[in-house]
């Protein structure tokens, strides 16, 4: 995959797409904001629960991902 394809999309600058007062953007080297979200099975998974145990790959999807 070409880097140009990726960079062309543009990474949001600090706070650009965040609501006022939210400045966390989780850039490289920063502490990732913790969260707890429900799964389809109504379990709750938090980022913190993997701390010290596993690397976590976060995969964000778009709202209407029509190719999948």
Q: What does the binding site for another protein look like in residue numbers (CB under 8 A)? A: 1, 5-6, 8-12, 14-19, 22, 24-35, 37-40, 45, 47-48, 50-65, 67-68
**Minimum distance of another protein from residue 16's CB (angstroms):** 7
CA distance 27 to 52: 20
Pick the closest to residue 25 from 62, 66, 60 (CA basis). Answer: 60
CA distance 23 to 28: 14
**Minimum distance of another protein from residue 19's CB (angstroms):** 6
**Minimum distance of another protein from residue 8's CB (angstroms):** 7
């Amino acid at each position: 995959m070409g880097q140009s394809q990726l960079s062309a999309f543009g990474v949001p600058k600090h706070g650009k797409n965040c609501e006022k007062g939210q400045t966390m953007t989780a850039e490289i080297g920063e502490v990732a904001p913790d969260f707890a979200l429900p799964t389809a099975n109504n379990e709750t998974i938090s980022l913190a629960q993997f701390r010290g145990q596993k690397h976590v790959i976060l995969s964000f999807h778009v709202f209407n991902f029509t190719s999948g």
